[in-house]
Chains A and B, each alone.
Chain A
Amino acid sequence: MIPEIGHFSLILALLVSLILGSFPIIGAARGNAVWMGLAKPLASVQFILIAFAFLCLVYAFAFMDYSVLYVANNSNSKLPLQFRIAAVWGGHEGSLLLWSLILSIWTVAVSLFSKHLPDDMRARILGVMGLISVGFLLFMLMASNPFERLIPAALDGRDLNPLLQDPGMIFHPPMLYMGYVGFSVAFAFSIAALLGGQLDAAWARWSRPWTILAWIFLTVGIMAGSNWAYYELGWGGWWFWDAVENASFMPWLVGTALIHSLAVTEKRGSFKAWTVLLAICAFSLSLLGTFLVRSGVLTSVHAFATDPRRGIFILAFLVIVIGGSLLLFAWRASTVGRGGKFDVVSRESFLLANNVLLAVAAMSVLLGTLYPLFLDALNLGKISVGPPYFDAVFAPLMAPAIFLMGVGPIARWKDASLPGMAMRLRWAFGISLATAVILPLMLGNFTPMIGLGLFLAFWVFASSAELVYQRLAKSDLPLMGRIKANSRSWWGMVIAHLGIAVFVLGLTIVKGFESEIAVKMLPGDVAHLAGYDFTFDGVVDHKGPNYEASHGQIHVTKNGVLRTILEPEKRLYTVTNMPMTEAGISPHLIHDLYASLGEPLEGGAWSVRIYHKPMVEWVWFGCLMMAFGGFLALTDKRYRLKRRAPSKAANSSKAAKI
């Protein structure tokens, strides 16, 4: 009975979203206040209905209702409760329901925190989000119903893919979806602005915090996914340029460009058309990501569903949403004014260059991801585009973008002086160049890529230090006062940029100095790597709730002193009969020691892979810093001002044009 109630609740949600997607938008066009006023309550009703349906599915999983097809396919009675609940989004149908739920959460959030928006603007924004919701609910009800019954019921479920039975599964997908779907807000703001013809600084200021919030979620989501791959897949890798990783990375790149572009639109009134296009692209790439993952067009470790009917539905949906908004853009963007003028050397042009580089990087990732499909569709053969392509294309695009990160914040708006900036940054440049040469030589391995990576990391450190120093030195206030004299969004920018530097530093060091060995080990055998002695103590069998495991132990010593104990595990999940590796990792600021069990060999020996990964944790720590920078910017004073009078919008747009 519960699944039917959930199903019914989804149908009601579809009806509500249809009204939400039509009446408020028409009302905004006709100036009908009652119709516009429908948007806010409908957003709440839609959220309640979808959340209720979601809880029904959670209930079916928690209480093991194997008469529901989706539950039977993705769960098992031996699966621990936390994974039974995470299994709700372990497959296609449930992922879609999570998608819809998160969209309705964002919609409600916008309806609650938009008191300062003009009524027509708010009605249009919520209406556009309602239309997106229509598409997803329709898709779910027509082609991917999570509540479909299985009659007769299965005795037990087929179990969740063991790869997904990990704490990462509980956090990674919801975070990632919060990011993906969060860009729908910036998208809806843009479409609403195009519809209403109101593209100004106020619009940019309103959409900025939403964009930053979505970007924070996406950053943390991607980070969590990368960290998960690192310890779960047992190859010691953390980024594979897999189609599905790319699908989350492309919106991130465009979203990053969007944040910067919005800053220019808010402060200077420039780049309006470009900002709108980026907002459309960021969300379009999120949708495209959903399509790529769900349609089976590309193969990937992440692809669960292959059903061409579903693919056609999503593709049609993409054509309507993306195609429609791009047409709207083509029609309305030419009416948008050009905004403030700026010099070739100015903060605007540096930000524009950064934007173009990020957008081109996203396009090159898109090209690499779709290239195999293009060739296959043209009957030119089957190929796979791997890390070499992405590494070769990505580094040359990101290097100048990161270099500009040091320059941009120091440049003045409108027109800046190149000699003056060169003077300010000469020390930063000298220090980073010297470090880039000396440090690798001291560590005993200099390659141009290591040099470049270190240069960029230290360039951002040093130029940020210069920036902060200049800001803090010119004041008589006590230190805390001086810190507070600068806005939180400025500090957020500094910290996010430092996060990039930390990330690049970690990336460079781990790529340049990591080492690994694969050895056959009998209990008592010792392997040597990076100055450490790894002694294999053997393997003990034990039973988990739904798997059988061989639990290995390796104790690590340096010069006879015990440093750490690694406990890699090899599991066999009994229901699906799939083997899984759980790496044994000792994380550390300076380096990770990482071991994973291969296959058992004759006579109690095991093949063991041991990795030494210097500074790999910095990669994820850098991502967290970026997210924290975003969080600081979000708590900036100017977003906390409640009840902004609508007339203020006109004022600030005038101010921006001065």
Chain B
Amino acid sequence: MKRGLIPFAIFLVVVGFLFKGLFLDPREVPSPLVGKPTPQFSLPRLDNPATIFSPKEMLGKVWLFNVWASWCGACRDEHPILVELAKTGFVPVIGMDYKDTRPEAQQWLDQGGNPYNLVAVDADGRVGIEYGVYGVPETYVIDKAGMIAYKQIGPVTYDALRDKIIPLVKRLQAQ
């Protein structure tokens, strides 16, 4: 009888973990970059390739850094949300066009609206590597000191905006 209970005991332990697991979000991947300074880069701008954008320019402001591409399906989901957010002027959004071509990126913005204060072009994806981009889209909240405060993997949803990003930005802006 006692020996026969071993499989049951093992099973109970597994169930305990599975139960706990139900309330965890496996998609919530903490970025090693959260709490660290933004990786520096200099990239040409989409509207004017001759001008260069660098995150240093944003020091002193809280801003969103959104990595997107015209070939990315999920970006289409979040795009209207970003456009609405931009209309409020609540927080500047800098885009980074990731592994994309200029004409296609420009066409995308012409069609869907341009929520970005400016867009930097990372044509070969090298800066994306610095930021540890898993997949497009990804959005970073960066504070006044140029530190990464939060990383949203996947599209920015209304829920994420309301529950996480906007409260966080407000808090950071107040600092």
Tell whether A and B belong to one assembly.
yes
Chain A residues in contact with chain B, CB under 8 A? 273, 277, 280-281, 284, 291, 295-299, 308, 311-312, 315, 318-319, 322-323, 326-327, 329-331, 333-334, 370, 372-374, 376-377, 382, 576-579, 599, 602
Q: How big is the B interface, by class? A: 20 to 34
| A83 to B15 CA separation, bound complex (whole angstroms) | 37
Per a CB cutoff under 8 Å, which of B17, B20, B26 touches A296? B26
Q: Are B7 and A373 in contact (CB under 8 A)?
A: no
CB closest residue in chain B, given A576: B73
A324 nearest CB neighbor, chain B only: B8
16 A-B residue contacts at CB 8 Å?
A277-B7, A295-B18, A297-B18, A297-B21, A299-B26, A315-B19, A319-B15, A323-B11, A326-B8, A334-B4, A372-B26, A373-B17, A376-B21, A376-B24, A382-B30, A577-B73
CA distance A148 to B27 in the complex (A): 28
Which B residues lie within 8 Å of A308 (CB)? Answer: 22-23
Nearest-neighbor residue (CB-CB) of B28 within chain A: A382
| Cβ contact within 8 Å between A333 and B22 | no
Contact A312 B22 (CB under 8 A): yes
Do A602 and B76 touch (CB < 8 A)? no
Q: Which residues of B contact A331 (CB under 8 A)?
A: 1, 4
| A382 contacts across to B, CB distance below 8 A | 26, 28-30
Indicate if B160 sits at the interface (CB-CB under 8 A). no
The A-contacting residues of B in range 1-48, CB under 8 angstroms, are 1, 3-5, 7-8, 11-12, 14-15, 17-24, 26-30
Q: A298-B26, A330-B5, A331-B1 are in contact. Are A323 and B21 (CB under 8 A)?
A: no
**Separation in Å of the A275 CB from the closest CB of chain B?**
14
Q: A299-B26, A312-B22, A373-B26 are in contact. List 18 more A-B contacts (CB 8 A).
A: A277-B7, A297-B24, A297-B26, A298-B26, A315-B22, A326-B7, A329-B8, A330-B1, A330-B8, A370-B18, A373-B21, A374-B17, A377-B21, A576-B73, A578-B73, A579-B73, A599-B99, A602-B101
Does B131 count as interface, using CB distance less than 8 angstroms?
Answer: no
A316 to chain B, nearest CB (A): 10
Chain A residue numbers with a CB within 8 Å of B21 are 297-298, 373, 376-377
A-binding residues in B (CB < 8 A): 1, 3-5, 7-8, 11-12, 14-15, 17-24, 26-30, 71, 73, 76, 99, 101
Give CA–CA (A280, B10) in the complex, Å: 14
Interchain CB contact under 8 A, A577 and B4: no
Q: Known interface pairs A331-B1, A334-B1. Does A373 touch B18 (Cβ–Cβ under 8 Å)? A: yes
Closest chain B residue to A308, Cβ basis? B22
CB distance from B143 to the nearest CB of A (A): 24
Nearest A residue to B18, CB-CB: A315
Partner of A577, one of B1, B12, B19, B76: B76
Most A-side CB within 10 Å, residue of B11, B28, B101: B11
- Chain A residues lying within 8 Å of B4, measured Cβ to Cβ, are 273, 329-331, 333-334
B contact residues around A333 at 8 Å (CB): 4
Q: Complex: how many Å from CA A330 to CA B3?
A: 8
CB distance from B155 to the nearest CB of A (A): 12
Question: A322 — which chain B residues lie within 8 A by C-beta?
Answer: 11
B15 to A377, Cβ gap below 8 A?
Answer: no
B22 and A376 contact, CB distance less than 8 A? no
Contact partners of A277 in chain B: CB under 8 A: 7
Q: Do residues B17 and A377 form an inter-chain contact, with CB atoms below 8 A?
A: yes
CA distance A505 to B4 in the complex (A): 40
Q: Bound state CA distance, A574 and B25, in angstroms? A: 30
Contact count A vs B, C-beta below 8 Å: 83
Please, which residue of chain B has its CB at the minimum distance from the CB of A577? B73
B111 nearest CB across to chain A (Å):
13
Contact call A327/B8, Cβ cutoff below 8 A: yes
Which of chain A's residues has its CB closest to B71's CB? A579
Q: How far is the CA of A297 from the CA of B30 in the complex (A)?
A: 17
Chain A residues with CB below 8 A from B20, complex form: 377
Contacts of B29 in A (CB 8 A): 382
Residues of A with C-beta under 8 A to B28: 382
Contacts of B12 in A (CB 8 A): 323
CA gap between A308 and B3 in the complex, in Å: 34
CA distance A374 to B20 in the complex (A): 9
User: Which residues of B are found within 8 Å of A311, using beta-carbon distances?
Assistant: 22
Please determine whether A323 and B15 come into contact, CB atoms closer than 8 angstroms: yes
List A contacts of B76 (CB < 8 A). 577
Cβ–Cβ < 8 Å partners of A370 in chain B: 14, 17-18
* Cβ–Cβ < 8 Å partners of B99 in chain A: 599
Indicate the member of B3, B19, B27, B30 with the most A CB atoms within 10 Å: B19
Across the interface, name the chain A residue whose C-beta is closest to B101. A602
CA distance A382 to B17 in the complex (A): 14
A375 to chain B, nearest CB (A): 10
CB contacts (< 8 Å) of A281 on chain B: these are: 7
The interface residues of chain A lying within 8 Å CB-to-CB of B26 are 296-299, 372-373, 376, 382
A577 to B76, CA, bound (A): 9
Q: Which residues of B contact A299 (CB under 8 A)?
A: 26-27
Find A326's partner among B11, B27, B101 (CB 8 Å cutoff): B11
Across the interface, name the chain B residue whose C-beta is closest to A327.
B8
Which one, A319, A374, A377, A599, contacts B71 given CB within 8 A? Answer: A599
Whether A297 touches B8, Cβ cut-off 8 Å, given contacts A334-B1, A377-B17, A579-B73, is: no
A602 to B28, CA, bound (A): 35
CA distance A403 to B29 in the complex (A): 42
Q: Chain A contacts of B14 at CB under 8 A?
A: 370
CB-nearest residue of chain B to A363: B10
A330 to B2, CA, bound (A): 7
Q: Which residue of A lies closest to B23 (CB)?
A: A308
Shortest CB–CB separation between residue A208 and chain B, in angstroms? 22
Contacts of A577 in B (CB 8 A): 73, 76
* Alpha-carbon distance between A260 and B61 when the two chains are bound, in angstroms: 68
> In the bound complex, how far is the Cα of B17 from the Cα of A331, in angstroms?
25
Question: In this complex, which of B19, B21, B71, B101 has the most chain A Cβ atoms within 10 angstroms of its Cβ?
Answer: B21
CB of B7 within 8 A of CB of A329, answer yes
CA distance A577 to B5 in the complex (A): 52
Closest 6 CB pairs of A and B: A330-B4, A377-B20, A326-B8, A577-B73, A297-B21, A299-B26
* A370–B19 CA distance with the chains assembled, in angstroms: 12
Q: Complex: how many Å from CA A322 to CA B99?
A: 49
* B3: chain A residues within 8 A (beta carbon): 334
- Please indicate the chain A residues that have their CB under 8 angstroms from the CB of B5 in the complex: 330
CB distance from A134 to the nearest CB of B (A): 20
CB distance from A98 to the nearest CB of B (A): 23
Residues of B within 8 A of A602 (CB): 101
B75 vs chain A, min Cβ distance (A): 9
A residues in contact with B7, CB < 8 Å: 277, 280-281, 326, 329-330
CA distance A545 to B21 in the complex (A): 41
Return A317 CB to nearest CB of chain B, in Å.
11
Q: How far is the CA of A298 from the CA of B17 in the complex (A)?
A: 12
- Shortest Cβ gap from A162 to chain B (Å): 10
Docked CA distance A370–B21 (Å): 10
A411 to B1, CA, bound (A): 33
When distances are taken between beta carbons in the complex, the residues of chain A under 8 Å from B17 are 370, 373-374, 377
* C-alpha spacing A284/B8, complex, angstroms: 12
Complex CA–CA separation, A39 to B19 (angstroms): 35
Residues in B whose Cβ lies below 8 Å from that of A578:
73
CA–CA, A330 to B21, complex, Å?
27
User: For B17, B30, B71, B99, which residue has the most chain A Cβ atoms within 10 angstroms?
Assistant: B17
